[in-house]
Amino acid sequence: MNAPIGIFDSGIGGLTVANAISGVLPREQLIYFGDTAHLPYGDKSKELVRHYSEKITDYLIHDKGCKAVVIACNTASSAAYEFLRDKYRGVVPIISVIDPIIEAIVEDDTIHHVGLIATKATIASGVYQEKLQRRKPDIRYAPLATPLLVPMIEEGFHNNNISHALIHNYLQNEALSHIDALILGCTHYIIVRKEIDEFYGGQVKLFDSTHIVANKLKKILEKEGLLSEGRLKNDEFLLSDYTEAFAKTARMFYGHEIKLVRKDIWNE
- With a CB cutoff of 8 Å and minimum separation 6, the contacts of 241 are 36, 37, 262, 264
Nearest 10 degrees: Cα torsion 152, 156, 160, 165: 0
Which residues does 163 contact at the CB level (< 8 Å), separation at least 6?
Answer: 152, 153, 157, 192, 195
Helical residues (DSSP H) of 203-268, grouped into ranges = 209-224, 244-254
Each residue of 147-177: b (16+ CB within 10 Å) or e? eebbebbbeebbeeeebbebbeebbeeeebe
Residues tagged active-site: 73, 186
Q: At what angle do helices 15-24 and 244-254 cross, to 10 degrees?
A: 40
Of the candidates 59, 109, 101, 115, the one whose C-alpha atom is nearest the C-alpha of residue 84 is 59
